[in-house]
Structure 1
Amino acid sequence: MQYSTTDSKRIGKARAPSQLSQVIKRYMTHKYFFIMLIPVLIYYIIFHYAPIYGVVIAFQDFKILKGISGSKWVGLDNFKELFAGMYFLPVLKNTLIINFYKLLFGFPAPILLALMINEVKQAAFKKVVQTVSYLPYFLSWVILSGIIIEFLSPSRGPINIILTMLDFKSVFFIASVDWFRSILVGSEIWKTVGFNAIIYLAAMAGINPEMYEAAEVDGINRIQKIWFITLPSIIPVIVILLILTSGQIISDDFDQVYNLLNAKVTSVGDVIGTYTYNEGISKMNYSYAAAVGLFKNVVALAVVLVTNTLAKRFSDETIF
């Protein structure tokens, strides 16, 4: 039996309401789950989407009393000042260097920790290690910064006490230009490594145990099982997280740097976050600070897009 074009259109129109009714029915069946999403949607609308309108002040000479609608439009003047000034480029350099080290050493750290935890056979010991490793993640940088400052104190810190006992000169690590970036990278890894390892442990839990059993029959040792079975199985997760993390190459952890930064290490520790805070809050230069923030976000988006494109070219795992 053959159908005419008119008949095909009639059948298509008949199917469309049927599909729509099925979608509506599914939504109604799970309506309580969608109701639970309402607070999340409200949060993102108020604190993430509504403030986007404020980006306009990056192109204005914003005055609080005049508001956005009454402030003078200056176009790209704030961005010209941004790149022509003598302060922003050193801050950008510090941000890129610190975040590059965090990406270089911090990204593989949770993978290594997850691999080691996954190889532990005693369940009780594994739980203890996991708890101890991800506990710092739930502490604020205000608390952790105090612990770090005390731990590295030149007079009462345990490291300097040991150095003094070994007839070495004590070092004021937190105020040392040579050590400050290492402290930022090390403390970031300490805080996040345990929590980030949970993602990789979850991916490892989904690996078929029969693959390991077959490998044991073939005489493969534990290192070879990790290299040929575990790592290839979690490559999709690693690639996706690498793409998402790449955007942080120009973003910084303001809470960490602000609580550890001091006048002696500003030359190597002042980053875009603290610079924007000083310009926008301390100096009340809102338009200039908004221009800095917009520049940072645009570059971060570009880095994510480029990384995603490269991942798409060399592998099948991408975020879009």
Structure 2
Amino acid sequence: MTTGSKARGAGGRAARDRRDGARPDLTRAEPSSAPSAPRSADRRARLRRDWPLLVMAAPMVVLVTAFWWVPTLGNVIALQDYNPYSGGILGSPIIGFTNFAQLLGDPQFGHAVVNTLGITAFQLVFYFPVPIALALLLNSIMSPRLRAFVQGVVYLPHFFSWVLVVAIFQQMLGGAGLLAQILREHGHEGVDIMTHSETFILLVTSQTVWKDAGWGSIVFLAALSTIDPHLYEAAAVDGAGRWRRMWHVTLPGLRPVIVLLLILRLGDALNVGFEQFMLQRSAVGSAVSEVFDTFAYYSGLRTGDFGYGAAAGLFKGLVGLILILVANRVAHSLGERGVYSK
């Protein structure tokens, strides 16, 4: 058989194989010669690409490490009879959970926890929705200049110290403040709200709202900007008014952010503020103003019992962690991601 006939025979067999749907034999296919990129080279490429971001993040990493993570190691003194003047951390004897047992048996500690949880629950109901409502109001302002002016006004108190905030409220609501002067000018008896223990929870909540509501609305304004405008147009075409659009479009769009911030708020439940309550403690008394932070300061640092104060602070952190885990589990049951996924 000639070479041409052999080629024609091979071509005919290949054509029949293609018609019959035969698959080519891949068992003897040669391995790919393209080498895979090493991981080290990939890391170096990412480092060359992202080094400006790493440089910008480096100061914050150093700050958090120096003032948050390293001091956390000092919580070991909660398990010691700590004396900074004889031995320090390494030389103080270990006493186990004695400080925690004493803490749980202290009636003043129980009173501080009750006050803290009560104030937190009150602010969760009457303060947490305020930034959401403020963000909705700011988002409805059509004039860019007016919106920028209002945002600047409501953001400004966040940068005031608590000393200045309490001083401003003293000038407005104190015994010699503006409100008392107006009442006296109209023949009424003056009032000193700053010293009324019955309304102290309303006072601290109003101070918190005035100081931080504007700043807290920034996150919700950012979330509002991510909602698709076509959803509002479709709802308007279907006949939905302003309130219907807010209920069925805006609030569902804000729901993930609301759940996330609510979880973080619950995790921070025992941290209602040290400076705010310490500045007003002498005016209303410790019965209504004693919270977790002031208890740790006066019962631990002021008396020199550093191990007892550290035990109070560590207990506060553990309770906050438990609240975050429980709130995150509830968020998962509602279909939200929460702080972290399952």
Q: Check whether the contact 1:246–1:304 (CA below 8 A) recurs between aligned residues.
A: yes
Task: Tell me if 1:144 matches 2:202.
Answer: no
In structure 2, which of residues 115, 119, 138 is the aligned counterpart of residue 94 of structure 1?
Answer: 115
Change (3 A) 1:222 1:69: same
Residue number in structure 2 paired with 1:79: 100
- Shift of residue 178, structure 1, vs aligned partner: 0.7
Aligned to 1:249, the other structure's residue is in SS state coil
- Determine the structure 2 residue equivalent to 1:120: 141
The two structures have a TM-score, normalised by structure 1, of 0.92
What percentage of aligned pairs have identical amino acids? 33
Q: Which of 1 and 2 has greater Rg?
A: 2
The question of whether the paired residues in 2 share the 8 Å contact of 1:62 and 1:68 is answered with yes
1:69 and 2:90 matched: yes
From 15, 18, 28, the counterpart of 2:38: 18
Alignment of 1:208-287 (within 5 A): 208-262=228-282, 264-287=284-307
SS of the residue aligned with 2:38? helix
Q: Structure 2 CA distance, aligned partners of 1:36 and 1:194?
A: 27
The Cα of 1:176 is off from its aligned counterpart by: 0.9
Given the alignment of the two structures, is residue 188 of structure 1 paired with residue 199 of structure 2, yes or no? Answer: no
Distance 2:96 2:193 in 1: 44
Deviates more, 1:274-283 or 1:79-88: 274-283
Question: Conserved in 2, the CA contact under 8 Å of 1:276 and 1:289?
Answer: yes
CA–CA separation in structure 1 for the residues paired with 2:185 and 2:121 = 35
Q: Which has the higher contact order (CA 8 A, sep 6+)?
A: 1
Q: Which residue of 2 aligns with 1:158?
A: 178
Which whole-Å CA distance do the structure 2 matches of 1:313 and 1:271 have between them?
Answer: 32
State yes or no: 1:110 paired with 2:140: no
Structure 1: runs of 5+ lacking an equivalent? none
Inter-CA distance 220–72: structure 2 relative to 1 (3 Å threshold) = same
Offset, 1:263:
5.0
Task: Tell me how far apart the structure 1 counterparts of residues 233 and 163 of structure 2 sit (CA, whole Å).
Answer: 47
Contact 1:103-1:249 within 8 A present in 2 as well: no
Unaligned runs of 5+ in 2: 1-25
Partner of 2:271: helix, strand, or coil? Answer: coil
Moved more, 146-155 or 284-293: 146-155
Give the aligned partner of residue 170 of structure 1: 190
Deviation at 1:166, TM superposition (A): 4.7
Contact 2:194 2:284 in 1 (8 A): no
Counterpart of 2:310 in structure 1 is: 290
Contact 1:176-1:265 at 8 Å conserved across structures: no
RMSD (Å), alpha carbons: 2.1
Q: Which amino acid aligns with 2:147?
A: K
Distance 1:144 1:18 in 2: 58
Provide the C-alpha distance between the structure 1 equivalents of 2:132 and 2:155, rounded to a whole number of angstroms: 14
Matched, 1:54 2:89: no
Query: Is the CA contact (8 Å cut-off) linking 2:175 and 2:192 kept in structure 1?
Result: yes
Displacement after TM superposition at 1:305 (Å): 0.7
Residue 20 of structure 1 and its aligned partner are, at CA, apart by: 4.2
Say if 1:78 and 1:288, in contact at 8 Å, map to a contact too: yes
Relative to the length of structure 2, the TM-score reads 0.86
The answer to whether 1:27 aligns with 2:47 is yes
Note if 1:179 corresponds to 2:214.
no
In the alignment, structure 1 residue 312 sits paired with structure 2 residue 332:
yes
Amino acid at match of 2:124: L
Deviation of residue 303 (structure 1)?
A: 0.1
8 Å Cα contact 1:180-1:265 kept in structure 2 = no
